[in-house]
Structure 1
Amino acid sequence: MFEDIADDILKKASSEGVPFAEVRFEYTNREFIQYVNGRIVSLSASSSRGAAIRVLINGNFGFSSITDLKKDSLEQALYQAIKAARAAGRGNKSLAEPPPVGKEYAFKDIRKHPSNVDIDEKIDLVKRAYAVAKEGGASTATSRYGAYYGVVEVYSTDGISVSSERLVTGISASVVLKENGKTGDGFETFGASAGLEYFEGEKSPEKAANRALEMARFAVKARRAPAGEQVVITRPELTGVFAHESFGHLTEGDGIFAKTSPLTGRLGEKIASEYVTIIDSGMDPRGGFALMVDDEGIPTEKTFLVREGILVGYLHSRESAALLNMRPTGNGRAQSFSHDVIVRMRNTFFEGGDWKEDEIIRETRHGLILDKPAGGQVEEDGTFTFNARIGFIIENGEIKEPVRDVVLAGNILEMLKYIDAVADNVEISTSPFGGCGKFGQMVHVGDGGPTLRATRLLVGGE
């Protein structure tokens, strides 16, 4: 779409003596519908169209962004980027060489792309979820639909010329139940890099509402978990929080270079039990956010971070890869054209093992099985405090009464050593309703994994 004008700008940069220049164009759309207690409270559609220009001069970057895509305006943005780089003086920054890349990356077999679906059909999705929630006894019910889609194009003086489609859609249902003077809440979100045909069958709005109701019914009956160090089993959605929030950030190349990560200089070390394999990938057939090419035009390879307990990889943009004399992994990402590229995760997850979930439960004498993350915080050294919304006590291999609002605390590098059972039920989830934040930028990601068991984890409760 923008190849000709990009070529003109890159030629202009070369004529100005710029060793490296890059132009990133974006044309993306966002849609959102929120339906609360029988009425639409939010309905929006917005577009983002603009370009980012990055130059590298004397070891420093210059960056500029613009919404006016006329040639003269883009040239002015180029001059601003050049001025910024030269004003910074001499530095030590560089870019790793790009691998061979394709020309165009697009989704195939999308039957109901959100750009081609009537608004009434999208409203119907949230109404259907709400109807089931109210029929199930919810005193308050909210349902949402969201979508993000469009194209990002990247062109550079060192040969990158890439067009990449972006797409993620989602629906969610949340409910509040009141029974016998007690209150319980529940929620469910289904999201994928897919068209609206995804929300059929097991991923329908009705299923989302029923799962939210089921969770709320358990919450009404649940008590606080027993406190102390315990055996803890995490189901896929909660497993994903550990993969992304507490471990994935530690492997990002900028933190490795700055030596703020406890994983700096530890490639090849055994940091986890032999049952632990953690991956960050641009795409996976089991779900998540499909990112075929990052925001530097680099294909998003499957990157092993931990393989059978051994730390084997970090995540890199072209800049961090050059700083550490490594290869870029396709993890250079930006929130939009108005943001510069930084190192970010894509889909970060634990790989599956040989167990079945019911086998792990059956082989657990005493402990907890937990699901549905509900916030928390993580420190730079991997120390975490996470909340699990719902779970169950396990006694002698059997699931007993439900527990709610369980607090988990520890350090991920300690927890990984105590994982002794990993199931084969890998699930990777994503959503258009939020994302991962870093340095003021928010990007869509996926996370997940299988059901797994840690033999020692500190639980806050009664």
Structure 2
Amino acid sequence: MTDDRFRPFDTHLDQDTALALLREATFGADDGELFIERRRSESLLLDDGRVRTAGYDASEGFGLRAVCGERAGYAHATTIDEAALRRAVGTARLAVGDGGGTLAEGPQGTNLKLYSDVDPVAEASFPAKIDLLRQIDSFARDLDPRVVQVSASLAASQQEVVILRPEGTLVTDIRPMSRINISIIVEQNGQRESGSMGGGGRASLIGLIETAHWQGVAREALRIALVNLEAEPAPAGVMDVVLGPGWPGILLHEAIGHGLEGDFNRKGSSAFAGLMGQQIAAKGVTVLDDGTIPDRRGSITVDDEGTPSARNVLIEDGVLTGYMQDRQNARLMGVAPTGNGRRESYAHAPMPRMTNTYMLAGDTAPESLVADLRDGIYAVGFGGGQVDITNGKFVFSCTEAYRVKDGVVGRPIKGATLIGDGATALRKIRGIGNDLALDPGIGNCGKAGQWVPVGVGQPSLLIGGLTVGGSA
């Protein structure tokens, strides 16, 4: 949010001094900013009845950036004062040299606020959190005699940022985050299987630790574990696949989303580079990146350059209509920033990153999509995966999937992996469900060594001819 107050926490840096030094760093540059951050976070893990980890972290610092053409000078420090900022100016100016650039116009302000200023870390005491994790452990074990191990974790954080720009724009944002996760291992006749469930978002921790909520999470983790206990080895071959709604959108995020980030396309390294305005997906496929959904894990009121978040249409009815942009790549490509300039912390420079990436719903009942499968699989949950951005090739492992023959859902299967490439998968979408869902709030995205929280989502999808790697 735009703010006329300068509040870089309890520091010895005033706004006039900071602005003068920022202007010195960016003289002759195209762009730049001073990013000041303070973050507090806490995480607790109870594993098999014992507290395995209990961590608390507090950090603060600044990052100073000067951008000139394709170059960027960046310096950061953990001390927020005039002396440290003066030293950073010299480093940042190395990218500017003699300059000659014209300072870009600053971002427009916003009065939108997508989440509260709540501090989830302070909402419950440390003993109360430990007691809750022990309750979860006891409850999960009592659900079924086959439960042999339970892991339960809580995480909470609050990030405060101040962004000062050379034209004098001042932006502040307070970003809460909370999450709960429960994993359960069951054993039957010497065979062990696991199931996990969790979620959260930019909201209070209180809602997550209410009894009805965490008990529902525990029951779902157990359900997944018991399904896998009955699973048979997955088949292998090329077959049609129905993806379930919600978290399976992680495949969309990885196989397609990264390829639509501006830097990869400006450099020509994306499989989608040079295809703007062309049909790259089946008719009916509309994909958005939307950082404006209240309280969602991937949402941001403003990005880490001070640009307000936006609802950006990337693919509309199968046609490529936009990329996700930070300020530098947008300027170099001659387009507007989209509010996707994100960074892990003050120690990292911003780059184009996803927020909440999802596909809009179609008009087909999900049961009809499954009924159309003659011989394929129905994939409901996903685990880890790998993607090559340059060609969009992906490999994803299924954590919950079922064999389908003649439209009838059969036994669960295990060991299934989906193999393909994003561009081809987009064109092979044959059916789009009317059941759009977003993930429960568990996503993290890695790029160039930086991690940021994200969201994903999709309706049920029927995709023809994916390669399934199996264990049969």
Task: Give TM-score, length-normalised by structure 1.
Answer: 0.92
Equivalent residue number for residue 382 of structure 1? 392
- Cα distance in 2, alignment partners of residues 439 and 95 from structure 1: 27
Number of residue pairs matched by the alignment: 457
Within the alignment, does 1:115 sit opposite 2:126 as a pair?
A: no
Q: Would the alpha carbon gap of residues 263 and 131 (structure 1) be closer, same or farther in structure 2, given more than 3 Å must change?
A: same
Equivalent position to 1:327, from 322, 336, 339 = 336
Q: Where does residue 352 of structure 1 map in the other structure?
A: 361
Does the C-alpha gap of structure 1 residues 296 and 109 become closer, same or farther in structure 2, counting only changes over 3 Å? closer
CA distance in 1, matches of 2:151, 2:81: 43
Structure 2 residue 416 is the aligned partner of structure 1 residue 406: yes
1:423 Cα deviation after fit: 1.8
Q: Which amino acid aligns with 1:120?
A: P
Aligned to 2:314: 305
Structure 1 residues 49 and 287, CA, compared in 2 at 3 Å: closer, same or farther? closer
Show CA shifts across 1:239-281 (max 9, x none).
3122211100101111101100121111111111112111111
- The 2-side partners of 1:427 and 1:27 are apart by 33
Corresponding residue to 1:198 among 202, 207, 219: 207
AA of the residue aligned to 1:381: N
Could you tell me whether the CA contact under 8 Å between 2:376 and 2:405 is conserved in 1? yes
Query: Aligned partners of 2:345, 2:212: CA distance in 1, in Å?
Result: 29
Identity %: 28
- Tell me the amino acid that sits aligned with residue 66 of structure 1: A
Q: Aligned residue for 2:109?
A: 101
The counterpart of 2:197, out of the listed 188, 193, 213, is: 188
- Give 1:248's match in structure 2, choosing from 235, 257, 264: 257
Q: Is the aligned partner of 1:69 residue 2:104?
A: no
Q: Does structure 2 retain, via aligned residues, the 8 Å contact 1:59–1:90? A: no
Structure 2 gaps of 5+ residues are 1-6
1:408/1:21 CA distance change after superposition, 3 Å: closer
| Equivalent residue runs for 1:125-274 within 5 Å | 125-135=132-142, 136=144, 137-199=146-208, 204-274=213-283
Q: CA deviation at 1:431?
A: 4.8
SS of corresponding position for 2:248:
helix
The one-letter amino acid of 1:266's match is: L
Kindly indicate whether the alpha-carbon contact (under 8 Å) linking 1:253 and 1:315 is maintained by their aligned counterparts in 2: yes
Q: 1:278 to 1:76 in 2, by over 3 A?
A: same
For 1:332, give the aligned amino acid. G
SS at the partner of 2:307?
coil
Q: Deviations over 1:29-54 (max 9, x none)?
A: 11100001111111111112111111
Aligned counterpart, 2:8: 2
Q: What letter is aligned with 2:64?
A: I
- Amino acid of the residue matched to residue 319 of structure 1? Q
Structure 1 match to 2:46: 35
Secondary structure of the residue aligned to 1:41 is: strand
2:280 and 2:298 map into 1 onto residues whose CA distance is: 28
**Contact in 2 for aligned 1:102/1:162 (Cα 8 Å):** no
Contact 2:276–2:320 under 8 Å retained in 1: yes
Deviation at 1:74, TM superposition (A): 2.0
TM-superposed CA distance for 1:182, in Å, is: 1.7
Contact 2:183 2:195 in 1 (8 A): yes
Alpha carbons 1:288, 1:429 under 8 Å: kept: no
**AA aligned opposite 1:424:** N
Instruction: Report the equivalent of 1:417.
Output: 427
TM-score (normalised: structure 2):
0.90
* Letter in structure 2 aligned against 1:63: Y
Conserved 8 A contact 2:378-2:403: yes
> What secondary structure does 1:139 align onto?
strand
